[in-house]
Amino acid sequence: MLSAAILLVAFHLGLTFSGLVPNLVARPLHVALILPWIFLFTEQRSQRWVTAFGILLALAGMAAAVWIAVNADRLADQYGFVETGFQYAVGAVLLLAVLEAARRAIGWPLPVVAAIALLYAAFGQHVPGEFGHAPLPPASLMGTLTLAEGGIFGQLTGVSVGVVAIFVIFGAVLNAGEAGQGFMNLAAAAAGRLRGGAGKVSVIASALFGSISGSASANVASTGAVTIPAMIRMGYPRRIAAAVEAVASSGGQIMPPLMGAGAFVMVELTGTPYTQIITAALLPALLYFAVVWFGIDAYARRLDLGGLPPEQQPEAKEVLVTSAFFMVPFTVLLGAMFWVGYTPQYSAALAIIAGAVLLLTGADMRLDLRRAAGRAEVALIGAARQVSLIAAIILCASIIIGVLAMTGLGVKITSLILSVSNGNLWPSLLLTALACLVLGMEVPTTAAYVICVSVAGPALTALGLEPLQAHLFVFWFALLSTITPPVCGAVFIAAGMAQENWLRVAMTAMTLGVGLYLIPLGMIARPDLIRLAEAPGSALLAAALVGGGCVVISYALIGLRRRIQTVAGLLLGLAMIFVSWGG
């Protein structure tokens, strides 16, 4: 297992440092390296026949992917057409391996959607009306999806290979060392003494940790193990303690630099530079955490919750030492990107080296090679598992995107949105938001974002939105399902840790996380909110209005008892977000 992890990590770092490798070589090898982590190196117990099937499918899928990499030049000359029965078999094995990998990684919904898409591509010519399509020759359909760069090895897989994998490795290296404790210590030092300090520590720690983990569930499981018991000890009701952690942890997927892999996908889909995307996403993300902060403060006032006791607050020296374990790699990352001008993946690779060097020591400042070796193993295996999980999602979503492109279904759905909304922007936005929420309940955020923006993005840009504005809007609403019933993964985990009814936690989380529902609408009402680099003054003014409106609404829902006051607060907050004073 360790050897496979070393191979996977070395391959992706090698791609970053070695320069350009043909897509039809790098992407199939990426698939070959991730399949064992889904089928073979799994901690899940399965029936014997399931295990045997997994081994056979993994080996067949790896062999098919390696065959494509070896024959990349010849396949490029086929222009996406299958020429032999053997090539049909290779394509079928790859499709089956990708669908089953996604099922084992994240469950049935996404692979079922992908399978339906494949059936539509094969038989859609029999669908009556405008949603049918012209017959697709089987040789073209199979070849484009599996032997060329139009499906499994398409644009999204390129993002997974070239950028996402490197940043996931970076996060794994930080998590294996003292960086996680550094996040907690810095958060406790910054907010521990304040009213409701335990909850505010959770917000800061989750923002910091989430910026590298990019996963709401991982964020809850890690920081929640510390913050939820601390909040309960400080007098927080269990439903509020769990809700605080679920809401704070959900922000990790909108917090630069990772954004749960969404930032890198946006780079490819919009053609916008990575640095511009994370700059545009920064103010909305900070507003989200600010609104959660003020919501916690409102609860703290109501419940008379104090700060952390002195014995739970770290000493200044401890904060300084442990913070260095994430500050140094982050400084390397941001300095290489913004000051030197390296690409995001090359900058992250340099930051990985800095983080790996720091694994040699710890908060005790001792050089311990045995401890470093253990941490390196944790980092390598953790990176391989997470890279493979995200890749399984992206590969499956790539099948859907490939079918949308080949059949023209995306254009037809865009036309449907425009016709149903009668060409009006806000009805289109609400339809898109509903679609994101429903799809996000069944598939991970990044996959929901990719699918939704593929069909709704063109409609939103046709109605006047800038591409980045439309993409950020869709991405935020794809995240709603982390705290919105009936499927709310972050809430389920936090409720279990707090031993509280999940529905009560979800209702509280929706109140605390009201910014998640309103801030993306604020991006549309006040476009300057995402123009921090181009117009910082206007962006800060828009942030003050949108953030202020969300805080007023949050306080009206949490801190005001009389109904008329609550209604007045809601109206004032909505006016601050949506009413234009420019005339």
Please report the pLDDT score of residue 260 as a whole number: 65
Helices 179-191 and 165-176, axial angle in degrees (round to 10): 70
Per-residue pLDDT of the chain (583 residues; tens, 9 = 90+): 899 999 999 999 999 998 778 999 999 999 999 999 999 887 665 667 678 888 999 999 999 999 999 999 999 888 889 999 999 999 999 999 999 999 998 888 889 989 999 999 999 998 888 888 889 999 999 999 999 988 899 888 888 898 888 888 988 898 888 887 888 888 888 888 888 888 888 888 877 777 666 667 777 877 787 788 888 888 899 999 999 999 988 887 888 876 767 778 888 888 888 889 989 999 999 999 999 999 999 999 888 888 878 877 888 888 999 899 989 998 998 899 888 988 888 998 999 999 999 999 988 888 889 999 999 999 999 999 989 988 998 899 899 989 988 988 877 887 788 788 887 899 989 888 888 877 776 567 777 888 888 888 888 998 899 999 999 999 998 888 888 887 787 888 889 889 899 889 999 999 999 999 999 999 999 999 999 999 999 999 999 999 999 999 999 999 887 889 999 999 999 999 999 755 4
Q: What is the pLDDT of residue 203?
A: 86
Size (the chain), residues:
583
pLDDT at 442: 58
**Residue 436 pLDDT:** 82
CA 374-379-380 angle, 5° bins:
100
pLDDT number for residue 386: 87
Taking the C-alpha atoms of residue 10 and residue 204, their distance in angstroms, rounded to an integer, is: 33
d(CA 550, CA 55): 51
Residue by residue, DSSP assigns 199-250 as: HHHHHHHHHHHHHHH--HHHHHHHHHHHHHHHHHHTT--HHHHHHHHHHHHH
Nearest to 198 by CA among 227, 163, 237: 227
B/e letters for 70-80, b = 16+ CB within 10 Å, e = fewer, are ebbeebeeeeb
Q: In angstroms, rounded to a whole number, what is the distance separating the alpha carbons of residues 193 and 226?
A: 17
Helix-helix angle 109-123:369-407, to 10 degrees: 30
Rounded Cα distance, 521 and 430, in Å: 10
Instruction: List Cα–Cα distances, 16 to 11, 13, 58, 82, 268, in angstroms.
Output: 9, 5, 26, 31, 17
- Are residues 188 and 210 in contact, defined by beta-carbon separation less than 8 angstroms? no
Using alpha carbons, select from 523, 508, 512 the residue that is nearest to residue 477.
523
Token readout for 116 is: 């339906």
CA distances from 474 to 283, 431, 455, 510 (A): 17, 11, 11, 19
